[in-house]
């Protein structure tokens, strides 16, 4: 198979966590398409266990496309509507496992017990790795990570023809509805040979694949192994950003990856996803982080050339298990959210930086300056320039931008105008704030 790493000329993905499909469709038309986002990533579409918690999605009962997010028709309508708005659709796809609870009835009415999910799977289709409870105990054992259970979730024998064929049929059902790409859940828990085999059976081939591989330096399984299939989510980036913006200093962020990280061309990065914002999988910033750091980090993510950026769009909660408000009907208004929805993708700075990213494309990082640990400024070729001041004092300076002379509208505030003269910008950036100019946003 050919690696599915090219997200196209509109590379920014929004993870619309727990948004139902009707509300995704409406938001594609109203905001996401016009704002220039390339992709929405939606929560898993298959039959799952019943319940109000968001994580029921990851306990698959069958591949019938009836979930709390909508019906098969709702999914199809959303794909068509988003396409008409110029937005592609990524589906969070669970191939590694089925439900982990003892028994129940799924969202499409199918009854199941652990290891038996008629009419799809019976007890012969799973791994029983032999550890207590068949759970992963040694996270440095490749065999355990890939054939034992993640949190009791029944682990499919993805090396077998029967399992591969049915997972590919599920994938092809999604492709037949017009799905553009996949986020492969728990990819680390499947050998690359199994994923490659299943992906190889998809027709048409997905345009983009991003794989969840949570890896630390020195871990037995590294994300780079998965780069031949598609992009890999680089959680070390997420944690490095959290540390840098939380006091560690951002001056090190010009080029901060190490050789074990997935390389830029195969990395998918985010300040937070649905797991990390809740303190799972990897340390990250979240909406409650102090001093505007969450927004500043998202600005950095969209400005810096490393990886393909995903913006999380999520909701407030009192318990980490809480499902989405309003039955998953996402609602935004103006530059924010309502009814508990955060609508990060509408925040002026984040939407503005999506335009910046689209404009700068793959232009090289230029004109880097960092006079102190919490202050950085850099350009992208001669088409964009960003200044990030994560310091508790204003930063007054004259910056060499590389930009053509003219008057630009700062895409962080969406309103302030700045003059570049002789390639220079003379300004003072307020405390814990940023300025970003690009040639697509001249005043």
Is 189 a residue that touches Ca ion (CB under 5 A)?
Answer: yes
Q: Which is nearer to Ca ion, 96 or 401 (CB)?
A: 96
CA-closest candidate to residue 211, choices 249, 184, 176: 184
Question: According to CB under 5 A, which residues from 42 to 101 bind Ca ion?
Answer: 96
Q: Which is nearer to Ca ion, 162 or 362 (CB)?
A: 162
For residues 49 to 78, the per-residue mask of contacts with ligand LM2, x marking binding by CB under 6 A and - elsewhere, is ------x--xx-------------------
Question: According to CB under 6 A, which residues from 141 to 160 bind ligand LM2?
Answer: 150-153
Is 256 a residue that touches ligand LM2 (CB under 6 A)?
Answer: no
Which residues does 430 contact at the CB level (< 8 Å), separation at least 6?
A: 389, 394
Give 76-80 contacts, CB < 8 A, sequence gap 24+. 76/177, 76/178, 77/21, 77/22, 77/25, 78/21, 78/22, 78/24, 78/25, 78/28, 78/42, 79/177, 79/178, 79/179, 80/178
For residues 188 to 227, the per-residue mask of contacts with ligand LM2, x marking binding by CB under 6 A and - elsewhere, is ------------------------x---------------
How far is the C-alpha of 54 from the C-alpha of 47, rounded, in Å? 13
148, 189 Cβ separation under 8 angstroms: no
How far is the C-alpha of 344 from the C-alpha of 302, rounded, in Å? 13
For residues 78 to 117, the per-residue mask of contacts with ligand LM2, x marking binding by CB under 6 A and - elsewhere, is ----------------------xx----------------
206, 179 Cβ separation under 8 angstroms: yes
Residue 180 touches which member of ligand LM2, Ca ion, none, C-beta under 5-8 Å by kind: none
User: Smallest distance, Å, CB 95 to Ca ion?
Assistant: 9
Q: Where are the beta strands (DSSP E) in 314-416?
A: 332-333, 336-337, 365-372, 375-380, 384-389, 395-400, 406-409
Residue 390 touches which member of Ca ion, ligand LM2, none, C-beta under 5-8 Å by kind: none
Catalytic residue among 57, 180, 185, 433: 185
Q: Would you call 217 a catalytic residue per the annotation?
A: no
Catalytic residue among 47, 57, 92, 212: 212
Which residues does 87 contact at the CB level (< 8 Å), separation at least 6?
A: 28, 32, 33, 37, 38, 39, 40
Question: According to CB under 5 A, which residues from 149 to 168 bind Ca ion?
Answer: 155
Q: Which is nearer to Ca ion, 148 or 302 (CB)?
A: 148
Give the residues across from 396 on adjacent strands.
Answer: 428
Residue 185 touches which member of ligand LM2, Ca ion, none, C-beta under 5-8 Å by kind: ligand LM2
For residues 297 to 326, the per-residue mask of contacts with ligand LM2, x marking binding by CB under 6 A and - elsewhere, is ------------------------------
User: Smallest distance, Å, CB 247 to ligand LM2?
Assistant: 28
Is 275 a residue that touches ligand LM2 (CB under 6 A)?
Answer: yes
Residue 100 touches which member of ligand LM2, Ca ion, none, C-beta under 5-8 Å by kind: ligand LM2
User: Smallest distance, Å, CB 155 to Ca ion?
Assistant: 4
Is 234 a residue that touches ligand LM2 (CB under 6 A)?
Answer: no
How far is the C-alpha of 339 from the C-alpha of 443, rounded, in Å? 34
Which helix (H) or strand (E) is 356 found in, with range?
helix 348-360
User: Smallest distance, Å, CB 320 to ligand LM2?
Assistant: 8
Q: Where are the beta strands (DSSP E) in 30-76?
A: 39-42
Q: Would you call 258 a catalytic residue per the annotation?
A: no
For 248, which DSSP code?
A: I
CA-closest candidate to residue 96, choices 27, 39, 145, 140: 145
> So which residues are the catalytic ones?
185, 212
The contact set with ligand LM2 (CB under 6 A) reads 55, 58-59, 100-101, 150-153, 185-186, 212, 275, 280
């Amino acid at each position: 198979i050919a690696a599915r790493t090219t997200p196209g000329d509109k590379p920014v993905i929004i993870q619309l966590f727990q948004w139902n499909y009707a509300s995704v469709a409406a938001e594609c038309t109203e905001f996401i398409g016009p704002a220039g986002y390339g992709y929405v990533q939606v929560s898993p579409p298959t039959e799952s266990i019943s319940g109000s918690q968001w994580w029921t999605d990851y306990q698959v009962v069958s591949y019938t496309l009836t979930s709390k997010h909508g019906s098969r028709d709702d999914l199809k309508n959303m794909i068509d509507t988003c396409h008409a708005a110029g937005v592609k659709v990524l589906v969070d796809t669970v191939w590694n496992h089925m439900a982990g609870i003892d028994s129940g009835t799924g969202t499409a009415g199918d009854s199941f017990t652990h290891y038996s999910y008629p009419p799809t799977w019976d007890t012969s289709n799973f791994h029983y790795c032999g550890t207590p409870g068949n759970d992963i105990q040694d996270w440095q054992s490749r065999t355990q990570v890939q054939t034992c259970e993640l949190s009791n979730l029944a682990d499919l024998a993805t090396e077998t023809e029967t399992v591969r064929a049915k997972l590919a049929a599920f994938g092809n059902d999604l492709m037949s509805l017009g799905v553009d790409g996949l986020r492969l859940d728990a990819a680390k828990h499947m050998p690359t040979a199994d994923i490659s085999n299943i992906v190889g059976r998809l027709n048409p081939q997905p345009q983009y694949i991003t794989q969840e591989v949570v890896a630390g330096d020195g871990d037995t399984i590294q994300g780079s192994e998965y780069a031949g299939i598609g992009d890999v989510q680089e959680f070390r980036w997420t944690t490095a950003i959290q540390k840098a913006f939380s006091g560690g200093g951002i001056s090190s962020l010009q080029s901060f990856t190490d050789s074990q990280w997935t390389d830029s061309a195969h990395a998918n990065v985010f300040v937070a996803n649905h797991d990390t914002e809740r303190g799972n999988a990897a340390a990250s910033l979240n909406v409650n982080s102090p001093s505007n750091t969450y927004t500043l980090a998202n600005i950095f993510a969209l400005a810096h050339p490393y990886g393909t950026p995903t913006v999380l769009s999520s909701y407030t909660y009192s318990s980490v298990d809480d499902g989405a408000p309003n039955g998953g009907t996402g609602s935004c208004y103006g530059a924010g959210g309502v009814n508990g929805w955060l609508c990060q993708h509408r925040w002026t700075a984040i939407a503005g930086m999506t335009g910046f990213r689209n404009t700068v494309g793959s232009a090289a990082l230029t004109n880097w300056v960092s006079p102190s640990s919490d202050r950085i400024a850099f350009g992208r070729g001669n088409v964009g320039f960003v200044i990030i001041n994560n310091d508790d004092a204003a930063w007054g300076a004259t910056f060499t931008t590389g930009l053509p002379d003219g008057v630009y509208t700062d895409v962080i505030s969406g309103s302030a105008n700045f003059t570049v003269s002789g390639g220079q910008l003379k300004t003072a950036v307020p405390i814990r704030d940023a300025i970003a100019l690009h040639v697509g946003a001249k005043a």
